[in-house]
Structure 1
Amino acid sequence: MADKNPFPGENNTGHIWDDDLRELNNPAPRWWMIAFWASILWWIAYGILYPMWPGLNSYTKGIMGWTQINEYKEGLDEVQQVRSVWESKLQGMTAKEILADEGLTSYTIASAKVLFGDNCAACHGSSGQGGPDFPVLVDDDWLYGGAIETIEQTITNGRKGIMTSHAKLLTDEEIDKLAAAVMSGNPASEPLFMGKGCFACHGPDGKGMQALGSANLTDAVWRFKADDQLASVKQTIKHGVNDASDPLSREAEMPKFGDRLSENDIKKLAVYVYKLGGGQ
């Protein structure tokens, strides 16, 4: 192509396509060359100032002495200084007293969000909406009550209620009748509710007793939700909950956090859960 260059005297490489498409051999613009050499100088300077060059067993530290861990610690110290003002106020206060202080409540909710995510969200959902077969924390339906003191006690000591298995105490027909009454929202309408002693735990009206942690059977709020809710209710009546004598019994236990979280962290979580919307 070079021997047929139709542009003699032009500073091109002699590579011509489609009669006039050619590759010029011009120098790069001055501004581009300045930027190019400046970037090389900056790269060298960066390698002198900051950790960069690898070695056999280590790396160059840089004359600035900068490290990511030091920057993290400095940032953490700044955060701790801001938090220390609020944290010092929390010392010695009860969760109820924290709730009475609007500023402390706002701080507590903000700082407890991470605590909730780390310790509670796996079961109760990131927003307290409840995971499969785990309680919802944003409604006002509480087995043991939604007072701030009760919530704090639950977090500290955990909960493990027991629903007796009735597989050997009731016939399938009786279980069907009780389940239908529970689904209707009026379990006391079924004579078996009184006759078989269900009222002893769930109360004569079926609304449950918080002292025992027994469920309210009249509000259509289900601890174990299912597509076939009637079958789920039958399962619970027949095999119970946390009944060690029945291998088919449902398992429902709230672990205790008193041995893994500080007193302040538990208070924060109690306030956070209370303010999710279901506290009473």
Structure 2
Amino acid sequence: MAKQNKPQHAPDTGHEWDGIRELTNPPPRWWMITFHASWIWCVVYFILYPSIPLVHEATKGILGWTQIKELKEAVAENDKVKAPYLQKVAAMDGQALLADAGLRSFAESSAKAIFGDNCAACHGAGGEGAPGLFPSLADDDWLYGGDINTIIESITDGRRGDMPAHEGMVDEADIEKLADFVIASAEGKGTPEGLALFNDTGCAGCHGENAAGGAINELGSGASNLTDGIWRFGGSRDEVLRTIRYGVNQEGVANTRIAIMPAFGGKLSPEAIKMLAVKVHEFGGGK
């Protein structure tokens, strides 16, 4: 016959409370095996890996493993995979890089992190810019031109557009008329009288005789197109008046606009700049 368990005769510690006795039965064998395996595993881990904090650093472990070492190895492996593609990028100009579908895709993918680290803080993650502060890279309005080689030049050397402050140079009444002309031109309603004043006050020297901007007129000035309704600093009358009165990047002028793009030629490699230019070009406004 099977052995009968008699709970009333089970050994106990002698402790009893409210009719409940504290027995001395051993734990299940599987539980004891797991318990011993756990502390053995901990000891082995402490020997192999960094684990026990000391005064200045943790124990190193006999394997010499660290997270930084693993990261460096992963980066080195990634660099090894990318190296042949980067060599091809280095040997190509911007137009050839755009024409090669495979390398263009590689450049866009690689430039995602580069753009996030260096450009997104001003131009936005999607190149949307910030109204009144930083230009959009996702439209078809370019201050210096949107071809791939010009974009490479802009990233490498940076850009700084200067517009003189007209307060004190032009009568206040004419400044008011210029603001009205600029706003009307953005809607295709500029008058001949306003255009004549625009030319007489020297605005055409940068913005072109038709106010269509420096890049479009091949003046190389980076002056904004005033006829397309896209505003670098905002299109309200007050904002236009501020720009005309106080200019852009004028030293010693309290309310001048600040519009300076830093040069990345000394910070990023030529290959990184090419790939970044491809990404900017492919945002939607490249030519």
Separation in 2, partners of 1:162, 1:118: 27
Worse-matched range after superposition: 120-129 or 57-66: 57-66
The residue type paired with residue 194 of structure 1 is N
Distance 1:221 1:28, change over 3 A: farther
Name the residue aligned to 1:64: 63
Secondary structure of 2:91's match?
coil
Name the residue aligned to 2:3: none
Distance 1:49 1:235, change over 3 A: same
Separation in 1, partners of 2:250, 2:212: 22
Name the residue aligned to 2:153: 153
Contact 1:135-1:223 at 8 Å conserved across structures: yes
CA drift of 1:37 comes to 2.1
Secondary structure of 2:60's match?
coil
The residue type paired with residue 138 of structure 1 is A
TM-superposition CA deviations, 1:189-226 (whole Å, max 9, x none): 12422332322322222211212211111112111137
The residue type paired with residue 224 of structure 2 is A
1:219 counterpart = 2:228:
yes
Contact 2:234-2:240 at 8 Å conserved across structures: no
1:46 counterpart = 2:45:
yes
Name the residue aligned to 1:192: 197
Contact 1:188-1:194 at 8 Å conserved across structures: no
1:235 counterpart = 2:209:
no
TM-superposition CA deviations, 1:76-122 (whole Å, max 9, x none): 22111211121121222111111111111111111111111222112
Name the residue aligned to 2:125: 126
1:170 counterpart = 2:170:
yes
Distance 1:31 1:152, change over 3 A: same
1:206 counterpart = 2:211:
yes
Separation in 2, partners of 1:13, 1:77: 65
Name the residue aligned to 1:3: none
Separation in 1, partners of 2:170, 2:15: 98
Secondary structure of 2:87's match?
helix
Separation in 2, partners of 1:178, 1:79: 56
Secondary structure of 2:167's match?
coil
TM-superposition CA deviations, 1:18-70 (whole Å, max 9, x none): xx9x6865654443332222211111111122222344555433232322232
Separation in 1, partners of 2:143, 2:55: 62
Contact 1:164-1:240 at 8 Å conserved across structures: yes
Within-5 A mapping of 1:77-96: 77-96=76-95
1:113 counterpart = 2:122:
no
Unaligned runs of 5+ in 1: 1-6
Secondary structure of 1:53's match?
coil
Superposition TM-score, scaled by structure 2 size: 0.83
TM-superposition CA deviations, 1:208-245 (whole Å, max 9, x none): 1212211111112111137xx22111100111112235
Worse-matched range after superposition: 202-211 or 190-199: 190-199
1:274 counterpart = 2:273:
no
TM-superposition CA deviations, 1:122-141 (whole Å, max 9, x none): 21112211135111101110
TM-superposition CA deviations, 1:247-278 (whole Å, max 9, x none): 32211111112222221121111111111111
Give the total of aligned pairs: 268
The residue type paired with residue 174 of structure 2 is E
Secondary structure of 1:131's match?
coil
